Structure formats: C-alpha cells, structure tokens
C-alpha cells in the first residue's frame, strides 16, 4: 500500500468508529407545544412549504450554497495555485495547510457555537444573517485581491481568512435553518438544504474555476480565475443573505413572535 493510502486510512478510520458509536446516542426529548405544531411533516406539506417560503428558505439555501462553493473552490485549488503560480513545494504546502486546517477549523466551529448561543440567548437570531453577510463580504474582498497578490505568503493570508470563515458558515447555516422551519418539517428541510449546499457548492465552484482557467484565463493566471469565482459567488451570497434577512424579519413581524425551536416562523 502506498504511503498516501495508509495516511487516508489512518485519518478516516477514527471518524468511522465515532460514527458507529454515535448510533448508540439516544435522541433527546424535546419540549413541544401543540399550538406550534401546524404540520404533520408529509412530503406534500414540505413541497407546499418550499413554494410558499421560497423567498426565505429557498433563497437562504441558495445563498449558503454560494458561500460554501467559495470554500470548496479554495480547498480544491489552493495547493495547485501555490505550486504552479508561486512555486511552493508539495511538502511545504502540506505542512502549512494541514496545520492551518486543523487550527482554523476547530476555531471557526467553536466561534460559531459561541456566537449562536449568544444570539439565541439574547433573542437576536436574525442577526446570524448579518454575520453571514459580513463573512461573505470579506470573502468577496479577498477574491478581488487574488489577482494582485505578489507572492505565496500573501496568497496564504487570503486562504487563511477563508479557512476561518468557512467553518463559521458551515456551522451557522444549519443552525439558523432550524429557526426558519416548523419542527415537523425540520428533517426534510435540512436534508434538502444539505443536498443543495453540498451538491452545488462542492461541484459548482471548483468546476467553474477549472472552466475559467482553461477557457478564459491562462494557467499562469489561475489565481485570477479563482478570484473571479470567489468574488462573484460571495457577492451573490451577500445579496441572498440580505433578501433572507428581510424575509425573515417580515415573517417575524407578521407573527409577532420571537423564533425558537418550539415556536418557529410559520409559513
């Protein structure tokens, strides 16, 4: 077995074991209110919910998919750009980015948990969308700067920013979705959300960078192709989060309610 194959097994095996152990975790009992249960969670009700709430849940899902596509694009092309454009060695790229991913991934997830807890405790749940707007806005500026970086360390600073923001959005995304969706439809909505976000984000962003690098820009301007996708997708995500925020606050005003998991925004 090649060394890289052994590394993949060593890294992936603990996750498989933990996933198996998680099957033994009991589902916690959640308080429910009969007044808040307005649906039974059927497929027909879910499709009706998507149609009536397209401006909120639908736009929010697309906005999050665009934001996530930025992270997948960076992950797919960072090493290639540092190698082709800036001449970094594979060993150097591996050491630096593995350390960066470990540190920033943990920090971003913990930060998202702390921020979510604080906003929920203070009844400021729609402000999560402001955080998503700011995060995508920062990534838009990073994308605009990519074609002008002079060396690998300047590019690394941009990649580092993305490594912090990505886990923050990954964690906030499904969390906020629960407050937009009735409990009976939460499972279906989360499945649809992940299908669109991962499917469009993981496949669309990196593929578009590859197309631009081969059809529009030269291989030497690969950072320009990536920067175009990062800036464009992030800008569209900001627009989507803005629309979602207005729709969310409008629904809250119409129901005269503070969103919670037992009393979500109704359609």
What's the CA gap between 165 and 172, in Å, rounded?
Answer: 11
Q: What is the pLDDT of residue 263?
A: 46
24 in a structural domain: no
Instruction: Return d(Cα 72, Cα 232) in angstroms, integer.
Output: 14
Q: Does residue 145 lie in a domain region?
A: yes
Residue 262 lies in a domain: no
Q: Compute φ and ψ for 120, nearest 5 degrees.
A: -65, -45
The answer to whether position 15 is within a domain reads: no
Residue 83 is assigned to a structural domain of this protein = yes
Residue 108: which domain range?
42-255
CATH number for 130: 1.20.1250.20
The upper half-sphere exposure of residue 120, i.e. CA atoms within 13 Å in the direction of its Cβ, equals 14
The CA distances from residue 67 to 33, 129, 154, 266, in Å, are: 34, 12, 22, 26
Is residue 12 assigned to a domain? no
**36 occurs within a structural domain:** no
**pLDDT at position 217, please?**
82
pLDDT at site 267: 42
Instruction: Report the number of distinct structural domains present in the chain.
Output: 1
Is 32 among the domain residues? no
Each of the 267 residues of the chain gets a pLDDT tens digit; together they read 788 788 888 888 888 888 788 777 765 665 554 444 455 567 788 888 888 888 888 899 999 999 989 989 988 898 888 888 888 898 888 888 888 888 887 888 888 888 888 888 888 888 889 989 999 999 999 999 998 988 889 888 888 888 888 888 888 888 888 888 888 888 888 888 888 888 888 888 889 998 988 888 877 788 899 999 999 999 999 999 999 998 888 877 766 555 554 444 444
Residues with Cβ within 8 Å of residue 88, at least 6 apart in sequence: 82, 152
């Amino acid at each position: 077995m090649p060394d890289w194959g052994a590394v993949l097994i060593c890294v992936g095996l603990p996750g498989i074991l933990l996933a198996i152990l998680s099957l033994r975790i009991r589902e916690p009992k959640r308080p429910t209110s009969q007044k808040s249960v307005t649906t039974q969670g059927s497929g027909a009700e879910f499709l009706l919910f998507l149609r009536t709430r397209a401006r909120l849940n639908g736009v929010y899902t697309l906005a999050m998919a665009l934001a996530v596509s930025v992270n997948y694009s960076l992950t797919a092309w960072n090493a290639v750009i540092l190698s082709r454009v800036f001449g970094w060695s594979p060993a150097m790229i591996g050491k630096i980015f593995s350390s960066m991913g470990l540190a920033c991934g943990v920090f971003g997830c913990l930060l998202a948990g702390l921020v979510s807890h604080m906003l929920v405790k203070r009844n400021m749940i729609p402000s999560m969308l402001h955080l998503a707007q700011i995060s995508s806005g920062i990534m838009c500026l990073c994308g605009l700067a990519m074609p002008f970086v002079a060396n690998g360390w300047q590019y690394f600073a941009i990649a580092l920013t993305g490594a912090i923001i990505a886990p923050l959005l990954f964690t906030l995304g499904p969390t906020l979705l629960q407050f937009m969706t009735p409990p009976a439809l939460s499972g279906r909505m989360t499945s649809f959300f992940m299908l669109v976000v991962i499917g469009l984000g993981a496949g669309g962003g990196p593929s578009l960078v590859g197309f631009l690098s081969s059809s529009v820009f030269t291989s030497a301007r690969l950072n320009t192709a990536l920067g175009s996708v990062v800036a464009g997708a992030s800008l569209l995500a900001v627009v989507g989060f803005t629309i979602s925020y207005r729709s969310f606050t409008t629904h809250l005003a119409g129901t005269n309610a503070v969103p919670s998991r037992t009393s979500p925004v109704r359609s």
